Structure 1
Amino acid sequence: MSDHITQARPYARAAFELAREDSTLDGWSAMLAEAARLTADERVDMLLKDPRRTPKQKGEAFIELLGDLLPERGANFLMVLARQQRLPALASMSTLFETERAAFEQRVSVEIISAFELDEAQKDKLAQALTKRLNREITITTSVDKTLLGGVVIRAGDTVIDGSARGRLARLSSVLNH
């Protein structure tokens, strides 16, 4: 997978720039997401690994599979990927594209893990505080982890804020043992 990320990075950036220039971010997001889903399909994986098929045939097959989801320059993009034998990296390209898009649109997905179910008022209060702190539009997902004992753990991109009782106890233990 990390190899695919390395291969995918320049193509994801190029796709993002094309989408931004054409104001077709939604179309490119949809195409790349579907292409990522397709590469996970066993039959498509067999097609990509088939040595009897030329890169052109593989690219044309992807174009046909994606059909109406292709933005204006999407078919050309897929043919370049096929020639460079980068179609298997489409899932990584989709992920990297969405990361670029979120940064451009100043959005971030925030995961809030709490010891107990949060009510709407608590979610709203956390959303307002995080929007202000991160200076970005946020999308919140919540989950419950009873092992936290109390408090919350917040994950926003690479940032983790551990305000859980378990986390505080672990930090206290670390301080006391050193």
Structure 2
Amino acid sequence: MAENVTIARPYADAAFELARGADALGPWSEALDRLASVAADSSMRACITDPNLSTDQLTKLVEDVAGNLSAEQQNFVRILAENERLQVLPEIRDLFVALKNEQEGVLEAQIASAFPLDDAALAALKADLEARFHAQLNVTVSIDPQLIGGVRIAVGDEVIDASVRGKLANMAAALKN
């Protein structure tokens, strides 16, 4: 939803600047993870859109469910509630994490494998990718049996398809030409 991302961007930027200024990127990231989970819950979404709940009641409810929040984080929740923006907390979290990763020189990597990777293979693959991209990587691994064999790696906009399925698709395209 591009609209939600557009709405969330100034809030994510503000939270990032606040967190960076207080040297608290980690705690803010953790708090936004909890808040995004709270806002994504279906019963909480019903509360967020309930016109019978006041801003103060909604703020208190979100703070109580999210758990341990600093004074700045509580104020952030109150501002979101006042501006009816609690529903975009997942997008705020995603944008905040992207800003945090950029600040720390970290890239996100998605690895899809046909079969589960053991720890040694994953560590070796991660080390190779970090050397190739000259950055630390946050790796997310998923299993996709449709790949038949091998892996498909996405780091930012770059995709490395070393799967059997990808090689078969390339071979089929070459044979058609």
Partner of 1:176: 175
Report the Cα distance in structure 2 between the residues aligned to 1:23 and 1:145, rounded to whole angstroms. Answer: 39
Does the residue aligned with 1:163 lie in a helix, a strand or coil?
strand
Report the Cα distance in structure 2 between the residues aligned to 1:171 and 1:82, rounded to whole angstroms. Answer: 51
Does the residue aligned with 2:71 lie in a helix, a strand or coil?
coil
Shift of 1:141: 3.7
Residues 106-148 of structure 1: CA distance to partner in whole angstroms, max 9, x if unpaired?
Answer: 2223232233443444323312210011111123343443432
Partner of 2:83: 84
TM-score w.r.t. the length of structure 1 is: 0.85
In the alignment, structure 1 residue 156 sits paired with structure 2 residue 165: no
Partner of 1:55: 55
Shift of 1:53: 2.7
* Unaligned 5+ runs, structure 1: none
Letter in 2 for 1:63: E
Partner of 1:38: 38
TM-score w.r.t. the length of structure 2 is: 0.86
The percentage of counterpart residues that share the same residue type is: 37
Residues 78-115 of structure 1: CA distance to partner in whole angstroms, max 9, x if unpaired?
Answer: 22212211111111111211121122112223232233
Aligned alpha-carbon RMSD (Å): 2.2
Aligned residues: 177
* Unaligned 5+ runs, structure 2: none
Partner of 1:23: 23
Letter in 1 for 2:12: A
Q: Deviation above 4 Å: which 4+ runs of structure 1? A: none
Q: Against the structure 1 CA distance between its residues 60 and 114, is the aligned structure 2 distance closer, same or farther, given a 3 Å change threshold? A: closer
Describe how 1:6-21 pairs up with structure 2 within 5 A. 6-21=6-21
Letter in 1 for 2:85: R
Shift of 1:161: 0.9
Partner of 2:66: 66
Q: Against the structure 1 CA distance between its residues 144 and 53, is the aligned structure 2 distance closer, same or farther, given a 3 Å change threshold? A: closer
